[in-house]
Amino acid sequence: MNADALRSIKQDMAHHVHPQSNLRQHAEQGPLMITHGKGVFIYDSEGREIIDGFSGLGCVSLGYNNERLVNAAIRQMNTLPFAPTFYNRSHPRVAELGERLIDMAPSGMNRVMFQCSGSEANDTAIKLLWYTNTARGEPQRRKIIGRVRGYHGNTIATVSLSGQPHMHAKFGLPLPEFKHTELPNYYRFHIDGESEEEFSGRMAAKFEELILAEGPETVAAFFAEPAISGGGALMPPEGYWREMQAVLRKYDIKLLADEVVCGFGRTGNMWGSQTWGLEPDMVSCAKALSAAFFPISALMFKDALYADMIKNSDEVGTFGHGYTYAGHPVGAAVSLEALDIYDEIDLVGQVRRVSKRFLENCHAMADHPLVAEVRGVGLFCGFELMKDAKAREPFDPAWKVGELVQNFAHDRGLYLRAIGDRMSFMPPLIINEDEIDIATERFKGALDDAWAVIKAKM
């Protein structure tokens, strides 16, 4: 490790507080310092070449050195580096991006608002639901339902909505308006002999029980990713979305599709909503919107909601919401370039072509002693790790089996994400079949390494 890298690590340890990290461990060991990237590879301060099997944080869709995106940012910085979208002002890039997104959006969206992150997009959606329910004479509809282990952001509202206990602990959260329904993990939670369809029906029945217990007239919306990312790349079981949407329609409860991870090709369609037949009232997106080259997000919704927003704006004299960097011209320009690239390389077609090899290689690991279930779609796959797959007996959490696999994978040159004892595997969307073979071989090696350690404990 060279002197510059050591200096960076010392600076980081001295001053930088890291999100979603073990702070004691960081204080003692310091960070893993990533110095540069190329294609689907990242490089650390020790010179190791690592395949990014998690797309950064599910966002680096086009890899790490795309000159077109860099040049789009430079051109815009030289033309108009900033312009507010407050006070009825706009600029050409954000106007064009709004039209572009609406043209490609699922389920009849007509309006769009821009923010800087998926958290902000979902937080904005919550505010708009409360705002428009007031306009419609239903101010009591304030409760928002998420799912256990679901994830929608880290603002006070969105982390309350997220079903992640470690993000609530010691913060005095969740807020009381936010409720959580069952995690639809068929493998872990099905009753012996219960089919996926029957399990989905039971999940929907539990969802309806929650709504009735809270009072349907008090529930504003259900927020859900088409497939759960923050809970460990968890795919919905057969019939799940059909059953859940029937409950929503029965009680006139809105559906927000959180497409922050699933959107822009991850599942083999432009939107996860298309993959699983969702008909949302609102759609949030971020991450791959700019291929992670600039922080930007969008919330899309229908004209009916916008009409209610106008009603309140007329009464108050303004729409009292917004972010300084909403619709930032550089972010808009980079996003437009990313969407152009997606069209030109047929990104959805690319994902469909290589996902066959990806999923075949992933499923080939299903008989590994550590692996109980493998389930995925497109370039999005989750692995359930279990002590006894048949009995569905988990490992002792103190063993940190997922983290062990994650660390061994890194040692072998593959970045993966452990979420408890689930492994999430979602590489950049430009990955090719040869790179998939290398990545999955390294994954298999990491499982072998971890099994050698675990077997000695059993």
pLDDT tens digits, one per residue of 129-148: 999 999 999 999 999 999 99
pLDDT of residue 109: 95
Quick check: 282 and 256 in contact, CB under 8 A? yes
Pick 32-65+346-457's CATH classification: 3.40.50.300, 3.30.530.20, 3.40.50.1000, 3.90.1150.10: 3.90.1150.10
Helix (H, G, I), strand (E, B), or coil: what is residue 124? Answer: helix
Q: Residue 258: which pLDDT band, with cuts at 50, 70 and 90?
A: very high
pLDDT tens digits, one per residue of 369-390: 999 999 999 999 999 999 999 9
Residue 419 has pLDDT above 90, yes or no: yes
Residues 62-74, mean pLDDT to the nearest whole number: 97
Please identify which residue in the block is written with the tokens 């991450």.
287
Omega cis (within 30) before 174 = yes
Residue 458 has pLDDT above 80, yes or no: no
pLDDT of residue 253: 98
194 backbone dihedrals φ, ψ, rounded to 5°: -85, 125
- DSSP-derived secondary structure for 125-156: HHHHHHHHHHHTT-TT--EEEEEBT----SSH
pLDDT of residue 23: 87
Q: How many degrees, rounded to 5, is the angle at CA 245 between CA 242 and CA 247? A: 115
Q: Which of 26-30, 165-169, 205-209 bottoms out in mean pLDDT, i.e. has the lowest?
A: 26-30
Sign of CA dihedral 422, 356, 68, 106: negative
Residue 107 has pLDDT above 90, yes or no: no
pLDDT of residue 136: 94
Q: Residue 306: which pLDDT band, with cuts at 50, 70 and 90?
A: very high
Q: What is the DSSP letter of 392?
A: T
Residues 117-127, mean pLDDT to the nearest whole number: 98
Residue 27 has pLDDT above 90, yes or no: no
Residues 220-235, mean pLDDT to the nearest whole number: 96
pLDDT of residue 2: 81
| Sequence-ordered list of residues with C-beta below 8 angstroms from that of 363, at least 6 positions apart, any chain | 374
Domain ranges for the chain: 32-65+346-457, 69-344
Quick check: 216 and 179 in contact, CB under 8 A? no
**Helix (H) or strand (E) run with residue 337 in it:** helix 329-344
Sign of CA dihedral 173, 249, 375, 395: positive
pLDDT of residue 227: 98
Residues 77-104, mean pLDDT to the nearest whole number: 97
Q: Residue 75: which pLDDT band, with cuts at 50, 70 and 90?
A: very high
Residue 190 has pLDDT above 80, yes or no: yes
Same fold, 32-65+346-457 and 69-344: no
pLDDT tens digits, one per residue of 331-358: 999 999 999 999 999 999 999 999 999 9
- DSSP-derived secondary structure for 276-321: HT---SEEEE-GGGTTTSS--EEEEE-HHHHHHHHHHHHHHSS---
d(CA 115, CA 125): 11
pLDDT of residue 243: 98
Residues 402-410, mean pLDDT to the nearest whole number: 97
Residues 51-56, mean pLDDT to the nearest whole number: 97
pLDDT of residue 30: 87
- Domain 69-344 in CATH 3.40.640.10: yes
**Helix (H) or strand (E) run with residue 418 in it:** strand 417-419
Report the share of the chain in percent with pLDDT over 90: 91
Tell me the average pLDDT of the chain: 96
Residue 400 has pLDDT above 90, yes or no: yes
Residue 12 has pLDDT above 90, yes or no: no
d(CA 408, CA 406): 6
Q: Residue 237: which pLDDT band, with cuts at 50, 70 and 90?
A: very high
Q: How far apart are the first and last CA of the chain?
A: 37
Residues 395-423, mean pLDDT to the nearest whole number: 96
d(CA 456, CA 452): 7
pLDDT of residue 98: 98
Q: Residue 405 carries which side chain, given as an amino acid letter?
A: V
114 backbone dihedrals φ, ψ, rounded to 5°: -110, 145
